[in-house]
Structure 1
Amino acid sequence: MGTVVALESLLAAQTLWHAGRGAVAPADSESTGHAALDRLLPQGGWPRGALTELLLPADGVGEIGLLMPTLARLSQGDGMVVLIAPPYLPYAPAWQGGGVDLGRLHLVEAAPRDALWAFEQCLRSGACAAVIGWPGNADGRALRRLQVAADSGDCLGFALRDRRHAVNASPAALRLEYVPGRERPGAWHVRKCRGGHPPAQAFAWIGH
């Protein structure tokens, strides 16, 4: 019950965000903040109104750092950034140091059973610029609902999941998999992208 109340209060706090402020990307995308990655993606950035999957070998490989430029830019405008039941308590000074306005960063605590519902509601609401969730056990039907919700809310949705799900089909508009390197730093490989074929080149970004 507490999750429902907190979520209703969060969505009541803001009802509209103005897309595209500060972004250097087409109207249907939002710049990733990494020029090399923007060049790889057919839409020139994160697809807006869509779900993006980040497939990870483990937590903490740089996934939040990858998103940080976008989240910072959105929060400094009119955007609200929401974290749905993160596996670790966010370290506020690090987010602030990354440029995120903490006044526009919101955390929704929820049990696994409620987290998918909260994720979907935030995406659909039209009140959020970006929503990040960790739907580890979501099936194809649940992911499809998240994709539709992101489209309805014109929101950036990010689903952080174990890379073992890479072998499964997904309705997400964009899928990036982090592949650790042996002698070289790891890299993000585009496994699926709306609007074109996945590029053969990987995005080797070593920030954490």
Structure 2
Amino acid sequence: MAALVSSSPTLSQVLDRADVWRGDTLARAPLPGVPTGFAELDCELPGGGWPRGGLIEILPVHRGIGELSLLLPALARLSTDELSWLVCVAPPHPLHAPALQAGGIALSRLLVASAPGRDAVWACERSLAADGVGAVVAWLPEVQATSLRRLQLAAERSGTLLFVFRPAACASQSSPAPLRLLLDGEGEQLSVRLLKRRGGAQPAPLSIAIQRPLRLSHALACPASTAPVARSLSRPAIA
């Protein structure tokens, strides 16, 4: 009688899976990452860039240190090369359109939702479920853990970049985000510490030189009376 052949996978086959990684190495991402625009940061991220389909939590020690400038190269790439929509949800200050444009973002692909409280999470979920959205950037300082979990699952289903800004004090809290960054610095120098990533621990913070369009004192913001208004989330493009 012919010997039965086991159909169980070998250890090497299991380790070759994209959703399995060793504790001392970076995980292999199922999708290529979106280049951050900073080579030193790309080298530290699974997939070689911002991971698609997962919550990316960004924790600046205070607002205006250049946190949005860290995202500009990737957002510009999505809006111009991939012609994707960019959705900003609940920004704490009016976004300054000339600064965004100077950073390479196609303003015609930008939508802004000034959604207060729980509406901000709803706006994020609607945006993640919409076709053609390349990235969602949200400011959710008081978001609940259950809402973060919902956003993480929504990002996984959509394969869309999801950036969520929260206060640095949240660093000690647990989070479903597979990638968490703590930001510090001033001027055009940013210190980036990877608090959490799929892979080994980061040995030391990265020092990254950023460009701050128009040298604005507050990250890409200006008084509401003079700020050009980006298009509303309620437009049919992503309804």
Shorter-chain TM-score category? 0.7 to 0.9
More helix by share: 1
Partner of 1:65 in structure 2?
69
String of CA shifts for 1:131-159, please: whole Å, max 9, x gaps: 00011111211111011111111100000
1:118 deviates by: 0.6
Instruction: Name the TM-score, length of structure 1 as normaliser.
Output: 0.81
Deviation >6 Å, runs of 4+: none
Q: Is the 8 A contact 1:126 1:154 kept in 2?
A: no
Cα deviations by residue, 1:9-33 (Å, 9 ceiling, x for unpaired): xxxxxxxxxxxxxxxx983321111
Aligned residues: percent identity? 41
Structure 1 CA distance for aligned equivalents of residues 182 and 125 of structure 2: 23
TM-score (ref. length: structure 2) = 0.71
Query: How big is each residue's C-alpha offset from its partner over 1:54-104, in whole Å with a ceiling of 9 and x where there is no partner?
Result: 001111111111000000000002211100010010100000001100000
Question: Which one has the largest radius of gyration?
Answer: 2
Deviation at 1:119, TM superposition (A): 1.1
The amino acid that maps onto 1:197 is G
1:168-195 deviation line (CA, Å, top 9, x unaligned): 11101100001348xxx5511000012x
Let me know the Cα RMSD of the aligned residues. Answer: 1.7
1:40-64: per-residue Cα shift (whole Å, max 9, x none)? 1232111101110000111111111
Q: Is the aligned partner of 1:148 residue 2:153?
A: yes
Quote the offset at 1:167 in angstroms.
Answer: 0.2
Q: Does 1:138 find its partner at 2:143?
A: yes
Residue 100 of structure 1, aligned match among 84, 105, 110:
105
Distance across 1 between alignment mates of 2:30 and 2:78: 16
Displacement of 1:199: 1.3
In the other structure, the counterpart of 2:205 is 202
Select the residue among 55, 62, 68 that pairs with 1:51: 55
Q: What is the Cα deviation at residue 206 of structure 1?
A: 3.8
**d(CA) in 2 for partners of 1:198 and 1:122?**
32
Q: Secondary structure at the match of 2:133?
A: coil
State the AA in 2 paired with 1:204: S
Equivalent pair of 2:65/2:184 in contact (CA under 8 Å): no
The Cα of 1:107 is off from its aligned counterpart by: 0.5
Instruction: Give the 3 Å change call, closer, same or farther, for CA 26–95 of structure 1 in structure 2.
Output: farther
Show the counterpart of 1:162: 167
Q: Which residue of 1 aligns with 2:85?
A: 80
Aligned partner of residue 69 in structure 2, secondary structure? helix
Mapped partners of 1:66, 1:106: distance in 2: 19
Q: Choose 26-35 or 133-142, whichever is displaced more.
A: 26-35
Aligned-partner Cα distance in 2 for 1:103–1:82: 12
Kept after mapping to 1: 8 A contact 2:124/2:151 = yes
Indicate if the aligned counterparts of 1:124 and 1:151 stay in contact, CA closer than 8 A.
no
